[in-house]
Structure 1
């Protein structure tokens, strides 16, 4: 019995590779805190891909429908897909190029948090993003 408990506790205390490498967060909760995670690798869930281009993708977080049934946006992140993720990027280009909120474009995205403000000529951290990102499609 004691050996079994020691093995179980040892397994719980030792960080697994997935827990040690990156944190998971819902995009709605993460958008406001992203600037505190610059340089960290994260996985963002419930990311709706819109306005996909060859250079970047916009990920929006959506709040639950309001009483009138309207969808409200909670924030957005800029996604710059890594070179090794060309298949996922091509799929995003074919399915999520416009501003429509198709269910098929709700994904998880992993990448390194960065401040994209400078690429837009902004001084403050107002445009946050994930670079070297990988798109995780639900199917």
Structure 2
């Protein structure tokens, strides 16, 4: 009698807090494979926020060439911040409204991966992003 009950308990889904943390991924690496992760929650590290507006912003991943010291953008994702994240959104608007890739706007961002192509009327082109996102500022 006890064994079926114990097996039933083990098969039940864990509460959200007890689940494993969502994966942390570098933006530069994730931008290339984002299409395979639609609907999943991820945390993007080394995200440089640029062109912030009240509706959305862009997360840019950077790669550097050790030999030349050059830095270039290697991945971009659209970020739509969750409505409850007003404080983070306002900070991004104040600091990251232009295209500067400085350290002030280098953050980690967590959210659900989605294909934003339709909202831009794009057919074959892919515009991937995170929605219901939260920004984790380094300080």
Q: TM-score range by the shorter chain?
A: 0.7 to 0.9
Cα shift at 1:102: 1.4
TM-score w.r.t. the length of structure 2 is 0.83
Q: Check whether the contact 1:21–1:41 (CA below 8 A) recurs between aligned residues.
A: no
Please tell me whether residue 129 in structure 1 is matched to residue 134 in structure 2.
no
Alignment partner, residue 48 of structure 2? 48
Tell me the SS of whatever aligns to 1:122. coil
Cα 1:73–1:91 shift into 2, 3 Å: same
- 1:9-29, Cα deviation, whole Å (9 max, x unpaired): xxxxxxx95762411100011
Q: Distance in 1 between matches of 2:123 and 2:21?
A: 30
> What's the Cα RMSD here?
1.9
Alignment partner, residue 23 of structure 2? 23
Tell me the SS of whatever aligns to 1:20. coil
Please tell me whether residue 39 in structure 1 is matched to residue 48 in structure 2.
no
Number of equivalences = 125
**By percentage of residues, which structure has more helix?**
1
TM-score w.r.t. the length of structure 1 is 0.83
Q: Distance in 2 between matches of 1:18 and 1:53?
A: 35
Segments of 5+ residues of structure 2 without an aligned counterpart are 1-15
Q: Distance in 1 between matches of 2:95 and 2:18?
A: 29
Segments of 5+ residues of structure 1 without an aligned counterpart are 1-15
Cα shift at 1:64: 1.1
